[in-house]
Amino acid sequence: MSEVAAEFSICMEQINDFEFRVKFDGPQHPHLLMDEPEPLGHDSGPSSARVLAAAVGNCLSASFLFCTRRTGVPVTGIQTNVKVQIVRNENKRLRIGKIDVVIDPALADPTDAKALRCLSTFEDFCTVTQSIRQGIPVHVTVKGMSPQ
């Protein structure tokens, strides 16, 4: 069995129909309103698939930024776009078919050896992506950079 490194809990409360308020475990974190798109919900907040996409994009971006900061590679900003494909499985149930992530870092020199080292390692440190990759294909591209 794996060693537990951390643990947290969140609470979700139904507001109306498919609207839920997510209360995070830290009082400093604002509540999040989630809702399903029509015809189930009213699309008044992000759906669970959209929150998953945000979690993947954020975790990958943060992992890349952490690596560049740790190795002294200057990054003046990062923009990340995440595209999620919803498919129907053999039982006609909706599933996330794949996730494509494009990270666009503002790097002074994308050919810098330290930046390229980050390119080859940062994905492995992304907790969310590496966890869901066991069931969902995730393809990552970092704009302006290619592995050696």
Tens digit of pLDDT per residue, the chain (148 long)?
A: 579 999 999 999 999 999 999 999 999 999 999 999 999 999 999 999 999 999 999 999 999 999 999 999 999 999 999 999 999 999 999 999 999 999 999 998 989 999 999 999 999 999 999 999 988 889 999 988 866 5
Report the predicted TM-score, pTM, of the whole model to 2 decimal places.
0.89
Of 101, 108, 107, give the one whose Cα is nearest residue 132: 101
- Examine the domain organization and report whether 127 and 65 are in the same domain: yes
- AA identity, residue 69: R
User: Domain with 64 in it: what CATH number?
Assistant: 3.30.300.20
Same domain flag for 42 and 114: no
Domains: count for the chain:
2
Q: What type of residue is 79?
A: Q
Angle, CA of 5, 6 and 11, to the nearest 5°: 155
The helix-helix angle for 48-71 and 113-121 (nearest 10°) equals 140
- Domain interval for residue 16: 1-46
Element (H, E) at 115: helix 113-121
Is 79 a domain residue? yes
Q: Which helix (H) or strand (E) holds 83?
A: strand 75-88
